[in-house]
Structure 1
């Protein structure tokens, strides 16, 4: 088989694998970013695409995890949509800033006004501010997407233990500790030292080489200026006498 044919075959196989791998990753309801710092506050965006070819998205419901209640939930106004936050009593109050919180938002609902629906091939983003976040783990936001034809898609499947993606995955916000500032601080001086020492060493070596070349040039010049005795006519006459 020629090299050209082999290249074409490899390209076709790679392209096929790329399409095959990309196909299962269809547009789901997601939370972005999907990681946050434990114990702090963050702004997340729920991205909702319309996967239907014939109907538009008219309502989105996001359920906040009851096992990790969040004391402060703020919604960013979105033109053309009405947003409501539903609170529930907590079985066990949580303490935030030395105060007991007995209720928290457990569900957020966005409803489209006429003409603002998410049409086929489009998506919409819904911003929420949350905090303080739990100290570890992850937050699973089970979501329901309602279409104009009455269809309801339930994005409520929790992450699997084997790492495979479920059919209707729920948006997941992973809580990961931020990198320790000390590690960054310790690395910075080493990098600065390397960068400053390098040019100095090169400069010194260049200066020494230049001086050596100058000395050699002067010696060569002096040698060239000296002539052996007896080479001129007067010297030859003197030697003959």
Structure 2
């Protein structure tokens, strides 16, 4: 009996050790994958205006610091409608064709990069995804861009940061386009302007008269002179003919 109990006790200890080792391995494997970019806002509501949105890019490198965050804006937010709030010391904000970039000196190794932006107005949507490329000082880039089935609520995979929005307030409406957008539209020529040729300046008209044509008065004077000369020639011919007879 003693031998049997000892065998069972040894088997139980081995099973416990194996279970603990497996759990530890799972936790270690899940740790790095949990790192991602967080996004939040106190005014996360559709059609809200002048909304501050905060981001926190988690660091998962033990040897390099974060130096750049490249963000693709969701549909409904134009780069011209975004202004920079706060960020790591020395970082600069630059608008791109499809979003923006914030970058600067590397933050301390292992420290998360936090920054904020202000959006002129949020679109009428249920959620906004801010696809992000996170670059470190050693050149490594984490791509937090996956949507839908490629991501989940636990931060596994390379899920893009998503800001969920409340329904728009009653009576809320889209604001007019930003000034930069209006200037871009007005700068393009209208069809009427393209079809109409610009009128010549007085100097150009004068040059045209000097080079190619004469006024009506000048043509009348030349015609009169031709008539006088022709009449005088006819008179001389008749006079010579009479003298010879």
Find out whether 1:144 has 2:136 as its counterpart: no
Report the TM-score, using the length of structure 1 for normalisation.
Answer: 0.51
Aligned equivalent of 1:125: 114
The structure where strand makes up a greater share of residues is 1
Give the Cα separation in 1 of the matches to 2:81 and 2:108. Answer: 32
Give the Cα separation in 1 of the matches to 2:91 and 2:56. Answer: 14
Aligned equivalent of 1:175: 165
CA root-mean-square deviation: 3.4
Give the Cα separation in 2 of the matches to 1:161 and 1:150. Answer: 25
Q: How many residues align?
A: 145
CA contact 1:49–1:118 (8 Å) conserved in 2: no
**Does the C-alpha gap of structure 1 residues 111 and 32 become closer, same or farther in structure 2, counting only changes over 3 Å?**
same
Aligned equivalent of 1:63: 72
What does 1:1-241 correspond to in 2, within 5 Å?
A: 23=30, 26-33=34-41, 36-41=44-49, 42-65=51-74, 67-70=75-78, 72-78=81-87, 79-86=89-96, 88=97, 106-113=98-105, 117-160=106-149, 163=152, 166-177=156-167
Unaligned runs of 5+ in 2: 1-15, 171-245
Give the Cα separation in 2 of the matches to 1:49 and 1:23. Answer: 15
Cα deviations by residue, 1:33-86 (Å, 9 ceiling, x for unpaired): 397111112111111122111111111111102x32346211125431121112
Report the TM-score, using the length of structure 2 for normalisation.
Answer: 0.50
Give the Cα separation in 2 of the matches to 1:163 and 1:49. Answer: 17
CA contact 2:69–2:132 (8 Å) conserved in 1: yes
SS state of the match for residue 144, structure 1? Answer: strand
**Does the C-alpha gap of structure 1 residues 161 and 61 become closer, same or farther in structure 2, counting only changes over 3 Å?**
closer
**Does the C-alpha gap of structure 1 residues 175 and 68 become closer, same or farther in structure 2, counting only changes over 3 Å?**
same
Unaligned runs of 5+ in 1: 1-8, 89-105, 181-241
| Larger RCO (alpha carbons 8 Å, 6+ apart) | 1
**Does the C-alpha gap of structure 1 residues 163 and 112 become closer, same or farther in structure 2, counting only changes over 3 Å?**
closer
Give the Cα separation in 1 of the matches to 2:169 and 2:27. Answer: 36
Moved >6 Å (runs of 4+): none
Cα deviations by residue, 1:78-111 (Å, 9 ceiling, x for unpaired): 431121112x4xxxxxxxxxxxxxxxxx321112
Aligned equivalent of 1:189: none
SS state of the match for residue 114, structure 2? Answer: strand
